[in-house]
């Protein structure tokens, strides 16, 4: 499940992505085959995290931090 990380809050993607021009027709992030198509993976965060212990972090084109949590 994708969530938006904003200032000490966790927001649903439906709350944020509905107004984004890059979102799908359903107002969701462009998530395809395990990758965020409307953003980039934060490589600098990945190098400090042990594998499988933390969610994968992304930054969308609008500047929001997006986390993939299970």
What confidence tens digit (pLDDT) does each residue in 44-66 have? 555 555 566 678 899 999 999 99
Tell me the torsion sign for CA atoms 63, 7, 33, 55: positive
Chain mean position to CA 58: 5
Chain mean position to CA 62: 11
Q: Which pLDDT does position 47 carry in this prediction?
A: 54
Confidence of residue 43 (pLDDT cuts 50, 70, 90): confident
Q: How far is CA 12 from CA 1, 5, 26, in A?
A: 9, 9, 14
Return the higher-pLDDT residue of 70 and 32: 32
Confidence of residue 23 (pLDDT cuts 50, 70, 90): very high
End-to-end CA distance of the chain, in Å? 6
Q: Which pLDDT does position 7 carry in this prediction?
A: 84
Q: What is the pTM of this model?
A: 0.77
């Amino acid at each position: 499940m994708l969530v938006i990380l904003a200032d000490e809050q966790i927001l649903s993607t439906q709350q944020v992505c509905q107004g984004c021009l890059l979102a799908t027709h359903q107002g969701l992030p462009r998530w395809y085959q395990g990758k965020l198509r409307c953003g980039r993976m934060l490589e600098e965060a990945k190098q400090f995290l042990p594998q499988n212990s933390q969610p994968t972090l992304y930054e969308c084109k609008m500047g929001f931090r997006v986390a993939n949590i299970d």
